[in-house]
Amino acid sequence: MMSKVAIVAISLLTTACGQTSSSETGKASAIQQDVLTISAAEAYKRWKGNPDKIVILDVRTPSEYQSGHVKGAQNIDFYSNFEQAIQKLPKDKEYYLHCASGRRSASATEIMRKNGFKAYNIGGFGAVAQAGFPTE
């Protein structure tokens, strides 16, 4: 039987996955070498102010994407030749990447940055939808 402390710890870890702390809001924060993350709320403000400059990139599988996604988001499955697929994208845009929890998008952001893209991890789909991005 799990102790109450273990249950609370697991609950906190699960809830915090893909979220950005308040000290990181409004500024980029390194989460791995060459990987930057911004909160979904900050990403929404930036996107809303300049939607032609920013591309929302959903790196979930096609079936995850079909179950609900940001309206107008491009879907490039992280598990399906991601590095090859991004070579077709213009490098004069900013890319805000998300997945289900923020893990795949963190890895995808690192790959994009190493390939010369201005990319940011914005976390999981739930946080992105809650931040105000229109979904369908």
Given a cut of 50, whether residue 17 has pLDDT beyond it is no
Give me the mean pLDDT over the 9-29 stretch.
39
Q: Return the pLDDT at 35.
A: 61
Residue 127's alpha-carbon distances to 11, 30, 81, 92, 111, in angstroms, are 17, 19, 26, 26, 22
CATH number, span 19-131: 3.40.250.10
Domain boundaries, the chain: 19-131
Q: Return the pLDDT at 125.
A: 97
Identify residue 101 by its one-letter amino acid code. Answer: S
- What global pTM score does this model have? 0.74
- pLDDT tens for residues 75-125? 999 999 999 999 999 999 999 999 999 999 999 999 999 999 999 999 999
Tell me which residue of 24, 11, 53, 50 sits closest to 122, measured CA to CA.
24
- For residue 33, give both structure tokens: 């070498």
Q: Report the alpha-carbon distance of residue 19 to residue 32 in Å, rounded.
A: 15
Mean pLDDT of the chain, nearest integer: 82
Which ranges in 1-136 belong to alpha helices (H)?
A: 4-16, 40-49, 62-66, 82-86, 103-114, 125-131
Q: Report the alpha-carbon distance of residue 30 to residue 11 in Å, rounded.
A: 25
Q: Report the alpha-carbon distance of residue 72 to residue 34 in Å, rounded.
A: 27
